[in-house]
Amino acid sequence: MIDNLIDTRFIPLVLLAVLAIAFLLQIIFYWGFFWRLGRHRTPPVNSKKSGVSVVICAHNEYHHLKESLPLFLEQDYPEYEVLVVNHASDDDTHFLLSRLGEKYPHLRSLTIREDLNFFSGKKFPLSIGIKSAMYDIVLLTDADCRPASKNWVSLMQSAYTSKTEIVLGYGSYNRVKGMVNKLIRYDTVHIAVQYLSYALVGIPYMGVGRNLSYIKQLFYRHKGFISHYRIHSGDDDLFVNRVANRRNTAIMTHPDSYTFSDPKQTFGKWITQKRRHLSTATHYRLLHKFLLGFYSLSLITYYLLTIMLLGLNISVFAVIGLFIIRASTQYVVISRCLRQLNEKDLIPLIPVYEVILLLLNAGIMLSNIFRKPVRWK
């Protein structure tokens, strides 16, 4: 009799209570964190024009550099350099840099003829580039990226104040036809919504190397990448995770400050890339892992219990009510963030992308436990 009472009365109440907690946590994340980005407005441009060193690492990137490098070299900015670290390339990168150097005097290049492998991934060539930079403000991007406008350097630099040491930018992917492209772009913009929103709240935890800036003195003060030099990835997010705080970090979300690159063209290549990126999250600070994990756990719990309670026909109206409220909140907040980051075409299928990526990320995290991701080329 007692067992029956527990089964029929208390367990459904407990499940409903847990669902309500997961729902409440989701609402807190949406309105307390993500809405910060949705209502963010780019502050007035700082009129001060400090020197900037754009640093790009390249390994057999001739074809990308041929298209992108002139765009970086023709920025509307009075004092900057573009420093390309040619890392053990065996294509025609060297000849391209020599030819462009004759036309653009603010282009400099460094050649590393052998991969000495002091660091994993691209941390060694990037360290050389940062230490060789002419100016204190370093602006990082990748060889396959292109700036959104001629004001990219100017806007990223304008976010600096007397206290700022890090500026987080947005690195988008080009739009092409197909569901894989939309998934990649939604995944990218959702990650950006998280790290930009957390920075606005005062809890910066990562940035992306496609569009990231910091000052050389910060790099020197924290001994560069030495704390995670054996990890293949992390030259961007792990470094920011270690050195960023609420006082020294700013963001730039003006559309002209974005960078764009071509996404992976196949599902398999994208998953390989995601495996590498997600592998660094286990090395984040405890607070950041807690917040990110709590968000994911509350989302998984919310979906599982919603399906379970509806399937068991328990408190159907209450469950549907919570579902409608969360779905409305998600649409309002995330669609505002997508408009903020010029990704409006992704708005109609927000819930679909969320569920697919939730399942994919869970699978990738499990896969990373048993197989190490591949390193940067």
Q: Are residues 63 and 22 in the same domain?
A: no
Answer whether residue 179 is part of any domain: yes
Confidence at residue 38, expressed as pLDDT on a 0 to 100 scale: 95
Answer whether residue 156 is part of any domain: yes
The residue among 314, 297, 339, 347 whose CA lies nearest residue 22 is 297
Answer whether residue 216 is part of any domain: yes
Q: Are residues 148 and 66 in the same domain?
A: yes
Q: Is 353 helix (H, G, I), strand (E, B) or coil?
A: helix
Q: Are residues 224 and 338 in the same domain?
A: no
Domain extent, residue 142, equals 52-266
Q: Are residues 224 and 333 in the same domain?
A: no
CATH number at residue 169: 3.90.550.10
Confidence at residue 376, expressed as pLDDT on a 0 to 100 scale: 44
Confidence at residue 237, expressed as pLDDT on a 0 to 100 scale: 87
Residue 299 phi/psi, 5° resolution?
-70, -45
Detail the DSSP E strand segments found in 243-302. Answer: 249-251, 259-261
Ranges under pLDDT 50 in the chain: 1-2, 5, 375-377
Answer whether residue 309 is part of any domain: yes
Q: 37-87, pLDDT tens digit by residue? A: 999 988 776 667 899 999 999 999 999 999 999 999 999 999 999 999 999
Answer whether residue 44 is part of any domain: no
Q: How many domains does the chain have?
A: 2
Q: Are residues 130 and 222 in the same domain?
A: yes
Answer whether residue 140 is part of any domain: yes
Q: Are residues 34 and 57 in the same domain?
A: no
Q: Are residues 34 and 80 in the same domain?
A: no
Q: Helical H runs in 107-176?
A: 123-132, 152-158
Answer whether residue 274 is part of any domain: no
Where among 217, 236, 266 does a domain terminate? 266
Q: Which helix (H) or strand (E) holds 146?
A: strand 145-147
